[in-house]
Amino acid sequence: MTFERRDTRQVMVGNVPVGAGAPISVQSMTTTKTHDVDGTLAQIYGLAGAGADIVRVTCNTVEAAQGIAEIMPRSPVPIVADIHYQYRLALAAIEAGVSALRLNPGNIRKEQHIKAVAKAAGDAGIPIRIGVNAGSLDKDLLAKYGGPVPEALVESAMTEVRYFDDVGFHDVKISVKHSNVPLMVDSYRLLADTTDYPLHLGVTEAGPPPGGLIKSVAGIATLLNEGIGDTIRFSLTADPVEEAKAGKQLLEYLGLRERTGLDLIACPSCGRAEVDVIAVAQEANDRLEELDLPIQVAVMGCVVNGPGEAREADLGLAAGRGRGHLFIKGEVVRVVPEEDMVEALVTEAKLLAEEGVEARLAAKDASAATIAMEERVELLSVQGDANRAAERKAAVADVATSGTD
């Protein structure tokens, strides 16, 4: 079931629209000291190259705010200043020309300070993300609700919204992050029912991969498939480039973003495989990922079922006995020696991206289909039909036609 995107207001983070049907954007955060301008810019460029549309930097000192002033004119993407505790650093970041702010209601609590920042942001024409975090929730709300439950997180966000309303500031996006996936999902669902501001999705403190990736996908994808969410961040204990890559890939896999990079699919292998499918798939993935081609590639462990099972892939490789069968949209176009099959796959991927499917099908080896069929028949005779297709079909027909009315 496909859900329609939730209707929201829209804010502009630099030149990136968030909400109101705009493409879902990917965010990440630098791990450098922001006063290290060159080091921070190098990481920002790396994140942008990996798929980040917006990058957040910490603004925890005067020197960091000064660094932002130097970073902004040189950044390839909009920059968000992350503010904790010291509201004057938010004012300093605005003066430095930042694209947006992130405020944590759990540690900037004085109403007059919050309103001062909102008024300054309004004068500067930049949005603020209200970033509620279960781990730093206001102690009064923790006492009221007995813990960081969804109702507490949403109340924290909406209290901040009311402060903003008082000074006429409405360029807002909101996050209610939790490290517990079910509670994170419930918090965002409740928030989506409460307000029409755009939402920034994330599982906070998700941890290192693979667990952090699994938790992030579980929470973020659940909500995106319900039409909830306008911008996302994977909060991983890892190189932030991995966050940007994961966010971009998730949106592509969900069909929420046009594919711009590799989508490699592979069978899990079985006793029929004549090669180490895991090793071949990893080698193919490493080689093809460097090319960053917007194609889907399949690596299959056998020639018996591989091309048919992966016929929707743009390009594929099925491993036979000592040889590899290259196929495009399920049609075998070349048979190559096993030791050359990954290299041949990479070469064909480049040509496919340059020339297109029809041209590469037209350039296929005329004998490939015949060789592939002969090898398939040979392997079936040696290995037998692991799926027992003929036997099962006969049994199905017997059940369907026998018996009494």
CATH code of the domain covering residue 374 = 3.30.413.10
Of 13-17, 28-32, 76-80, 270-274, give the lowest mean pLDDT range.
270-274
In a domain, 113, yes or no: yes
User: Same domain for 40 and 163?
Assistant: yes
Which among 253, 278, 310 is the end of a domain? 253
Cβ atoms 310, 319 nearer than 8 A: no
Task: Find the mean pLDDT for residues 39-43.
Answer: 96
What are the distances in angstroms from CA 399 to CA 189, 388, 389, 402? 49, 17, 15, 6
In this prediction the pTM is: 0.86
User: Same domain for 229 and 332?
Assistant: no
DSSP per position, 20-41:
TTPPPEEEEE--S-TT-HHHHH
The tens digit of pLDDT for each residue in 267-305 reads 887 776 778 889 999 999 999 999 989 999 999 888 777
DSSP per position, 215-231:
HHHHHHHHHHTTT--SE
Number of domains comprising the chain: 2
User: Same domain for 105 and 207?
Assistant: yes
Terminal alpha carbon distance of the chain: 39
The tens digit of pLDDT for each residue in 62-112 reads 999 999 999 999 999 999 999 999 999 999 999 999 999 999 999 999 999
The helices-and-strands tally (H runs, E runs) of the chain is 15, 15
In a domain, 404, yes or no: no
Here the tokens at position 400 are 């369907």
Cβ atoms 176, 206 nearer than 8 A: no
What are the distances in angstroms from CA 324 to CA 333, 384, 387? 11, 20, 22
User: Same domain for 229 and 269?
Assistant: no
- Print the domain residue range for 272: 263-383
- What CATH number did the domain enclosing 183 receive? 3.20.20.20
Which is it for strands 323-328 and 331-337: parallel, antiparallel or unpaired? antiparallel
